[in-house]
Amino acid sequence: MLRPVPNHLTLLAMLTIPAVAVRAQQPVFEKLEIRVTAAPTAGIVTIDRGERDRVAAGDKVVLLPRNGDILHGTVTKVGSRSATVELVDRSAQLRRGVRGEVLVPRQRRRPGANAPVPVPEGPKATKPKQPATGAEAGQPTTNPTRRRPRQGRTPREDGWRPGMPLLAGSRPLEPRERASRTTGRIYTAGDLRRTLDSFDQSFARLGTDFEVENPVGYGGTLRVHAEFTYLTETTGNTDPDLRVFELAYEIGGTRYDPMRWQFGRLLPRDMPEFGLLDGVEWGYRFADGHRIGASFGALPELDEDLDTGADMQLAAWYLWPDTIAERLTFGVGYQKTWHHLRADRDLVVGKVRYLPSDGWDIAATTWVDFYYGSDTKRDGPELTRARAHATRRWDGGSGLEFTYDHEEYPDQRRTEFLQTIQPATLLDAHQDRFGAHAFTTSSSGTRWFARGTAWTDQDRTGATAEAGLLADDLLVNDMRSGLAGFLVHGAHSTLLGGRIDHGGQAFDGRLDALLEIAFVHHEGFPDNADDLIQYRLAGHWSRNVGERWNLLCYGDATLWDTELSLGLGFYLQRTF
Amino acid sequence: MASTQRKIRWTSTALVCGWLLAIVACSVSSPQGRELHRWWAGFGMVVKHDSFPADCKLCHLGESWNDIVETFEFDHEKSTGVALNGAHGQAKCLRCHNDRGPVAVFANKGCAGCHEDVHYGELGKDCASCHDENAFHVPNARVRHLHGRFPLTGAHMQVACHRCHSGAFVRNFRPTDPNCESCHFNDAAGVNNPPHINLGWVDRCDRCHIPTSWRPAVVR
């Protein structure tokens, strides 16, 4: 007669058998994430894992470069913290930082399978503060066989106990839970310009531009950009001004909060085409990346005074992305403005941006005004402004750029332009400009470039062309020098000239200098005044002066006919 | 007119003061104390640490997770394949790796992925055609001005940008009408010998003046 099996043995068997079964189903290999730290030759790379991670010769490696390829290889040599991998594709040339995985037998990764893993030495920690506030994790207590936590971090400090996973169960801090952080810069600048016929002007600026994250505990961001400017005009008049370019508080718009509010003096984030705003902006981002928004407030005049209050606006927009990665985006927005409470402008902005993965960057933006009962413009829509560009850059230093611009003057009550716009100008003035720029860099580092522009307006047509090169040690040793020639047919002048420039390390900083000589022909003038030679010498020098301080000094001189003009200036900035 | 400008200035001053007051008020009524980044207690990091070395003290000071050791070095290019050039090499990690979402999504958009379009969309999205990664300053702006309707000659070469582009101080470089009277109409109106306005000389200044200098005028 068989003895009855004790209950506790039955229970043990019930628990053990599934555990063994589960263990048998576990994969034989464990995947360790790796990075390529060096790629000395094609087909061979060094990875950041070695003996301390139980990697051994013969282990299989899979590498995943950013272009989407999947490359296989085998570990051939192992160091303490690195290993050499031979790729199956011996022609593959990888960059440092490429991610991948190495397959290590799980048997080898078990504790005690090999020598103990050395612990990297770090700087000595300082004595910890008193324990932090309540630790929520109620995990097992100390295990006498485990090592005590090292000096500098006591178990009560954060609730962690030996045996607990290091990062399991964690979540990122939300913006409102973070410590307040301020980043930005302060700067000062001065500029003085003078010609021999007493034409002079100058300015001095002192400003700051900074951003405070979570300034008041709600998780928002405060942005401030203001400066004091002392301006001397050509007439001798001085104009001291405190200019506030941005003073805005933004809350939301993070991965925790799809709704975003921003108020103050702000630049609309999704539709900056509507201009600087004193008011409030609201936006909402849907899970699939679509965004809607609206704003209301006053439009400061975009001049040196930034006066506000005369123009009010109401705007709304919608942005459509193809995916959450926003490789293709369409946007449309409508803005209605009032000037001293009188209806002014009906503006529709449409824009598109396309970023195919092969390196092209294509974007276009249009501003369309709608007129009803205008004195100078026909009723209906008019394309007031358009800007489009298509750019392609290659890794080797080559590229192509195409741009197109169209502009007309909008018929509006708002005071936006410094110039006096005559009715005839408002009626038919326009400009269309197409530009192309190509550049390439040879294996020796010499950069060749060519640039051309063609334009037409209501009165004239014109074009420009420029070509040149930039090479190391071309004219001056240890400097990068350039030669360029240009031909410009402008609205009032035609120029034929050349330019020499140098750039490199000098006087403990970086020095760039250029000399430009141009033969200038002024259109429509008598022979004794229409041709002259113009010389321009310019340079700027910059260096870091102490930690986070940067100084830029510049000067230029232009000599033409019998006159000379000079410009001098500096820019000093500290980031924090 | 003057009273209107004064009124506008008072309005903007009041707006700024109101703002400062609101910020102070919000600071006083903060809903909670600011919590520092703690280790356990359910919190984690913005930047994933799962591939970092196990010894936290290699990077962090023992007393605070927000303080990094002075000897901290991180070769961004070596570790990620993305080089941080110029000023980007000085940026703090959280400037890019933050709550907006995966940094790769924003990096794919180029400069506009992180930087505001301070030119109001007027100059396109290809910032690298004028700026480099060292500073926002564009040192050779006058050279680039060659490629337009109004190449700078003579005195125009030394004129500050805002004299023609009124929005230059707020980075609005919208093209300007190159006809002389667009900028010099007031100059002509102020001349009495001969009286330009009375004689009807309000445009076509280039009949007598050359663009390099206001003087001397040429009698044709």
Domain boundaries, chain A: 8-109
Please, what is the average pLDDT of chain A?
Answer: 81
For residue B75, give both structure tokens. 């070769």
- What ipTM was estimated for this complex? 0.72
CB contact under 8 A, B100 and A253: yes
B14 touches chain A (CB under 8 A): no
Question: Could you please report the per-residue DSSP string of A113-125?
Answer: SSSPPPPPP-PPP
What's the CATH superfamily of A8-109? Answer: Rod shape-determining protein MreC, domain 1 (2.40.10.340)
Record the pTM.
Answer: 0.71
Residues near B42 by Cβ (< 8 Å), separated by ≥ 6?
A: A136, A137, A169, A170, A171
What is the pLDDT at residue B25?
65
Query: Whole-angstrom Cα distance, residue B74 to residue B79?
Result: 8
Query: Whole-angstrom Cα distance, residue A94 to residue A111?
Result: 34
For residue B12, is it within any domain? yes
Residues of chain B contacting A264 with CB distance shorter than 8 Å: 19
Residues of chain B contacting A554 with CB distance shorter than 8 Å: 139
What is the pLDDT at residue A255?
77
Which residues 48-107 of B are in CB contact (within 8 Å) with A?
Answer: 49-51, 53-58, 61-63, 66, 69, 71, 77-82, 87, 90, 92, 94-95, 99-101, 105
Which residue in B30, B49, B119 is closest to A217 by CB distance? B30
Distance from CA of A434 to the nearest CA of B (A): 10
Highest mean pLDDT among A180-184, A404-408, B99-103: A404-408
Query: Whole-angstrom Cα distance, residue A299 to residue A272?
Result: 12
Other beta carbons within 10 angstroms of residue B215's beta carbon come to 10
Q: How confident is the model at residue A139 (pLDDT cuts 50, 70, 90)?
A: very low
Mean pLDDT of A114-118: 44
Query: Whole-angstrom Cα distance, residue A334 to residue A422?
Result: 27
Contact A127, A150 (CB under 8 A): no
Residue predicted with more confidence, A249 or A509: A249
Q: Please write the tens of the pLDDT for every residue from A182-226.
A: 888 899 999 888 876 666 788 899 999 999 988 888 889 999 999
B11 touches chain A (CB under 8 A): yes
For residue B16, is it within any domain? yes
For residue B194, is it within any domain? no
Res A20 pLDDT > 60:
no
Q: Please write the tens of the pLDDT for every residue from A371-395.
A: 987 777 888 899 999 999 999 988 8
Domains of chain B: total: 1
For residue B188, is it within any domain? no
Q: Is A211 helix (H, G, I), strand (E, B) or coil?
A: strand
Choose, out of A178, A205, A415, the residue to mutate when testing the contact with B (most B CBs < 10 Å).
A178
Residues of chain A contacting B144 with CB distance shorter than 8 Å: none
Q: Please write the tens of the pLDDT for every residue from B48-62.
A: 666 666 677 777 776
- Helix/strand/coil percentages in chain B, nearest 5: 40, 5, 60
Quote the DSSP letter at residue A144.
T
Residue type, A333: G
Q: How far apart are the first and last CA of chain A?
A: 85
Distance from CA of B42 to the nearest CA of A (A): 5
Contact A262, A248 (CB under 8 A): yes
Choose, out of A299, A366, A525, the residue to mutate when testing the contact with B (most B CBs < 10 Å).
A525
CB contact under 8 A, B212 and A435: no
What is the pLDDT at residue B36?
40
Contact B212, B153 (CB under 8 A): yes
B143 touches chain A (CB under 8 A): yes
Residues near B210 by Cβ (< 8 Å), separated by ≥ 6?
A: A522, A525, A529, A530, B154, B218
Which residue in B62, B147, B150 is closest to A126 by CB distance? B62
For residue B168, is it within any domain? no
Farthest-apart Cα atoms in chain B, separation: 86
> Counting one residue from A and one from B, how many pairs have CB atoms under 8 Å apart?
383
For residue B49, give both structure tokens. 């640490």
Res A126 pLDDT > 50:
no
Res B86 pLDDT > 50:
yes
3-state SS, one letter per residue, for A505-552:
EECCEEEEEEEEEEEEEECCCCCCCCEEEEEEEEEEEEEECCCCEEEE
- What CA dihedral angle connects B123, B125, B131 and B137, to 10 degrees? 60
B24 touches chain A (CB under 8 A): no
For residue B9, is it within any domain? yes
> Which domain covers residue B3, as residue numbers?
1-31
